[in-house]
Amino acid sequence: MTQMRENLIRMHMGTFVPALRPAMTPATRLDQLPDGARAVVARVVSASPEVDAVALRRLAEIGFIPGEPVQLLRRGPGGREPLAVLVGDTLFALRRIEAQCVEVEPQTGAAAPRRNAKSAGADAVAAAHAAHAAEPEPT
């Protein structure tokens, strides 16, 4: 009903552009991806009453924002928790309930260079060493 009202207002104002109806496929959640799969964040939504606005804000603050590339590297023991997720160049461990809040668009093909947790961690260590080496010695 709200969409119809907005369309009528737009038609009256001369700015009506019919919206394309999204595909009727259900959204893919981050926790549904197979190990090693790459995707792009579509949105972050509350997947459970246990997830509040603070938890959703935390996910956004650590990098789960629309358009950001992600990769589900692996799952914890028994295929459960935690989930090792690479967001951009940063590695995070998420609980399953947090991963269920991240809707993604799976990527096909070789859209981005392959990285893994080991190389991302090595990059972080190398950057920390370089920053430390650049600091002047205290006198």
Q: How far apart are CA 65 and CA 41, in angstroms?
A: 6
HEC states along 12-42?
A: HHCCCCCCCCCCCCCCEEHHHCCCCCEEEEE
∠ CA 73-78-80, nearest 5°, is 60
pLDDT by 10s per residue, the chain, length 139: 555 555 555 555 554 444 443 444 567 999 999 999 999 999 999 988 899 999 999 999 999 999 999 999 999 998 889 999 999 999 999 999 999 999 999 998 644 444 444 444 445 445 444 544 555 555 5
Three-state DSSP class for residue 48: coil
Chain length of the chain: 139
Give pLDDT, residue 114: 44
Q: How far apart are CA 114 and CA 37, in angstroms?
A: 11
Give pLDDT, residue 91: 96
Amino acid in the structure at residue 51: V
Instruction: Report the candidate in 98, 82, 80 with the shortest Cα–Cα distance to residue 41.
Output: 98
Give pLDDT, residue 6: 59
Two tokens, residue 46? 């509350």
What domains does the chain contain, in order, with CATH numbers?
26-110+117-125 (2.30.30.90)
Q: How far apart are CA 114 and CA 64, in angstroms?
A: 19
Q: pTM for the whole thing?
A: 0.61
Q: How far apart are CA 66 and CA 96, in angstroms?
A: 19
Give pLDDT, residue 47: 87
- Range list of H helices, 21-95: 53-61
